[in-house]
């Protein structure tokens, strides 16, 4: 049975039990037209495209007209379930005559339903990936990762490792600080306010819904440019402030017996970085609908010691959580969440995603010496060690190879060094690489 079918059947059951009143509410910019005026009011605000760019991202602002629809439910007995928000543009044209270009595009259209959050997220996610700041950051990290992998392989001189470490550490981190990434916060605001079918408005409360309609459906290329540059100039010809809204929904008595519907799991990039800590504590949240009364736990069993605890009681649209671990968690680790209530279960997955900070070594290995023709188990201490990722690299001398590395935690690891019978006698420089770059060097001496 599909989740969509389960939700639809549960909604139908609730409607019959509560003897729901189904209706369509029509509204203008300042007042409500139609039925049940004393229970539901709708108010519209056209959002400036540059504000849309700041709030939701430039890609959304360039492609959609965003209209804030505030729906109030003053009913003291019933909750209101919004099933659709449509925008009527038939009265927006204010020019003296309809230009041929407008007729060719059949502008303005009548009764366009807003795009839902699930579709808008695809546009926003592509915008995040195509953002110039993020493109350059990915390029820098790719170059640093390739260069770090070449350390100890190419004979570029002793300064090569230090240069790679500086590039992967201070240079990339400084770029990230100088040019912050706003797209995650923009996605969070999109999750919180974009129109979704079956949005619930509690008794005697209001909900702000942002409806998005593609500009290309009724604006020519020239009109889109004018709207971006100077909206008031476009309003002389197409006054979007005269848009009408149609809100269709049902009054329902109780929606507590609906299965959870999860739309996204969000962990801020700054929080993601905490997965590299010795004992990570990472905060995030689950967004969706019908989340009140749900229980959340991790199905992920790797790495050992990973656990989740809720942060406060869940609301209808959000569950805050904290992930704890007894050891660092490597990038790309899959996380599987189980969200459940008495009516159903949903499994939602995400991945750990962060660029590791360059590891550091606190001192020489213990032991710090070994003899030709022997095998030595050494212990290194420092910061930034990541299980399954961090490796030990010989940077100088010949005849010493690393056969195994076991990360005991974020601050300690053990490695096995095999010293050939003909290994060069004297100081051998060792470093570690955790995927974020090459660390500082320590000396191991071959006798």
Question: In this predicted model, what pLDDT tens digit does every residue of 349-389 receive, in sequence order?
Answer: 999 988 888 888 988 999 999 999 999 999 999 999 999 98
Better-predicted residue by pLDDT, 136 or 69: 69
Spatial separation of the C-alpha atoms in residues 313 and 164, rounded to whole Å: 47
pLDDT of the residue at 301: 78
Return the minimum-mean-pLDDT range out of 208-222, 401-415, 417-431.
Answer: 208-222
Alpha helices (H) in 19-83, listed in sequence order:
49-56, 58-63
Q: Which CATH architecture has domain 259-355?
A: Sandwich (2.60)
Spatial separation of the C-alpha atoms in residues 447 and 252, rounded to whole Å: 82
Region class of 216: left (phi > 0), else alpha (psi between -120 and 50), else beta:
alpha
Domain range list for the chain: 3-118+185-252, 259-355, 360-446
pLDDT digits (tens, 9 = 90+) for 61-76: 898 999 998 999 988 8
| The token pair that represents 75 in the structure block | 């009913």
Q: What percent of the chain has pLDDT over 70?
A: 75
Spatial separation of the C-alpha atoms in residues 443 and 365, rounded to whole Å: 8
Better-predicted residue by pLDDT, 150 or 265: 265
pLDDT of the residue at 242: 86
* Strand stretches in 77-216, DSSP E: 79-88, 112-113, 199-201, 205-214
* Strand stretches in 47-193, DSSP E: 64-73, 79-88, 112-113
CB 55 within 8 A of CB 89: no
Instruction: Using CB atoms within 10 Å of the CB of residue 249, give its burial: 0 to 12 exposed, 13 to 18 middle, 19+ buried.
Output: buried
Q: Looking at domain 360-446, which of 2.60.40.10, 2.60.40.2890, 1.10.3720.10, 3.10.20.90 is its CATH number?
A: 2.60.40.10
Return the minimum-mean-pLDDT range out of 36-45, 165-174, 418-427.
Answer: 165-174
Spatial separation of the C-alpha atoms in residues 365 and 415, rounded to whole Å: 10
Contact residues for 381 (Cβ-Cβ < 8 A; gap 6+):
361, 362, 363, 411, 412
3-state SS, residue 36: coil
Indicate whether this model's pTM tops 0.85.
no
Better-predicted residue by pLDDT, 36 or 195: 195
> Confidence band (pLDDT; 50, 70, 90) for 30?
very low
Q: Inform me whether the pLDDT recorded for 25 exceeds 50.
A: no
Q: Inform me whether the pLDDT recorded for 27 exceeds 60.
A: no
Contact residues for 433 (Cβ-Cβ < 8 A; gap 6+):
148, 149, 151, 359, 390, 391, 393, 439
Equal CATH topology for 259-355 and 360-446: yes
Residue tagged 């049975």 (tokens): 1
Spatial separation of the C-alpha atoms in residues 320 and 286, rounded to whole Å: 6
Q: How much is the mean pLDDT over the chain?
A: 79
């Amino acid at each position: 049975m599909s989740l969509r079918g389960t939700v639809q059947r549960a909604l139908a059951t609730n409607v019959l039990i509560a003897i729901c009143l189904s209706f369509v509410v029509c509204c203008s910019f300042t007042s409500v037209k139609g039925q049940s005026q004393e229970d539901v009011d709708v108010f519209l605000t056209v959002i400036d495209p540059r504000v849309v760019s700041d709030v939701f991202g430039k890609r959304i602002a360039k492609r959609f007209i965003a209209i804030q629809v505030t729906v109030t439910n003053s009913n003291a007995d019933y909750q209101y379930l919004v099933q659709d928000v449509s925008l009527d543009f038939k009265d927006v044209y204010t020019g003296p005559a309809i230009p041929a270009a407008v007729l060719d595009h059949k502008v303005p259209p009548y009764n366009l339903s807003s795009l839902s959050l699930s579709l808008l997220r695809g546009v926003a996610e592509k915008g995040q990936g195509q953002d110039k700041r993020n493109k350059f950051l990915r390029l820098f990290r790719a170059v640093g990762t390739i260069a770090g992998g070449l350390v100890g392989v190419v004979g570029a001189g002793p300064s090569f490792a230090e240069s790679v470490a500086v590039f992967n550490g201070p240079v990339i981190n400084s770029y990230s600080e100088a040019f912050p990434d706003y797209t995650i916060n923009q996605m969070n605001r999109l999750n919180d306010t974009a129109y979704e079918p079956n949005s619930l408005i509690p008794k005697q409360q209001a909900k702000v819904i942002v409806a998005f309609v593609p500009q290309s459906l009724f604006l020519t290329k020239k009109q889109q440019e004018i709207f971006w540059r100077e909206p008031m100039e476009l309003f002389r010809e197409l006054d979007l402030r005269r848009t009408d809204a149609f809100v269709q929904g049902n009054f329902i008595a109780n929606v507590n017996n609906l299965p959870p519907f999860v739309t996204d799991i969000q962990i801020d990039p700054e929080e993601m970085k905490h997965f590299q800590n010795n004992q990570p504590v990472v905060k995030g949240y689950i967004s969706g609908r019908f989340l009140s009364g749900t229980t959340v736990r991790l199905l992920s069993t790797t790495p050992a010691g990973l656990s989740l605890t809720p942060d406060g009681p869940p609301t209808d649209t959000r569950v805050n959580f904290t992930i704890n671990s007894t050891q660092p968690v490597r990038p790309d680790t899959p996380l599987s969440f189980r969200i459940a209530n008495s009516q159903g279960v949903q499994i939602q997955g995400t991945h750990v995603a962060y660029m590791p900070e360059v590891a550091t070594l606190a001192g020489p290995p213990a032991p710090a010496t070994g003899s030709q023709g022997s095998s030595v188990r050494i212990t290194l201490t420092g910061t930034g060690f990541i299980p399954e990722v961090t490796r030990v690299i010989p940077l100088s001398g010949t005849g010493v190879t690393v056969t195994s590395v076991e990360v005991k935690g974020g601050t300690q690891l053990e490695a096995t060094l095999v010293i050939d019978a003909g290994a060069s006698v004297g100081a051998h420089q060792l470093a570690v690489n955790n995927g974020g770059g090459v660390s500082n060097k320590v000396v191991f001496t071959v006798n």
